[in-house]
Amino acid sequence: MPILPIVDLMILTAWTSLLGAFVLKAIRVTTSYNPDLFGMGPMELTLVAGVLLLFALALTARTWLKAREFAQSSPRDRAAETLEAYSALKSVSSSLPGQGRSGAADSGGEGPNEPSEGSGAA
């Protein structure tokens, strides 16, 4: 589930709550009427906005850290897998005689400077 739309919704709700708090406070300061929005005054709306913004920030930071953790561990995991594959290949090649890196003289073949027997050189 994508996190970005949830964070955007929380930020939008927080700013809307702050706007409502400022409007209610302006009405309270300029008139003798004390309005409430959904039973909450300006201070409660400001606290709701603060909590929403802090939660959005925490969720964004957690998502960012999770992405960074995966990016940093991935090369380390690839290096470990490469080392394991190399070790397995080395153990297999050492267990088979004559299959490792050997020169042409060891395997009975001709080297690059040795003429073949049918070339007529004596």
pLDDT score of 42 more than 60: yes
pLDDT score of 33 more than 90: no
User: Which of 18-27, 60-69, 83-92 has the highest mean predicted lDDT (pLDDT)?
Assistant: 18-27
pLDDT score of 14 more than 60: yes
Domain span including residue 62 = 1-73
Please check whether residue 13 lies inside any domain of the structure.
yes
Residue type for 10, please? M
Please check whether residue 32 lies inside any domain of the structure.
yes
Among 11-15, 43-47, 55-59, 113-117, whose mean pLDDT is lowest? 113-117
Please check whether residue 63 lies inside any domain of the structure.
yes
Please check whether residue 68 lies inside any domain of the structure.
yes
Please check whether residue 115 lies inside any domain of the structure.
no
Instruction: Write down the residue that tokens 């939008």 correspond to.
Output: 12
pLDDT score of 27 more than 60: yes
Please check whether residue 121 lies inside any domain of the structure.
no
- The residues, any chain, with a CB within 8 Å of residue 45's CB and separated by 6 or more, are 17, 18, 20, 21, 24, 37
Taking the C-alpha atoms of residue 90 and residue 87, their distance in angstroms, rounded to an integer, is: 5
The number of domains in the chain is 1
11 touches 53 (CB < 8 A): yes
- pTM score: 0.55
Mean pLDDT, the chain, integer: 80
Please check whether residue 3 lies inside any domain of the structure.
yes
The whole-number average pLDDT for the span 75-101 is: 74
Please check whether residue 42 lies inside any domain of the structure.
yes
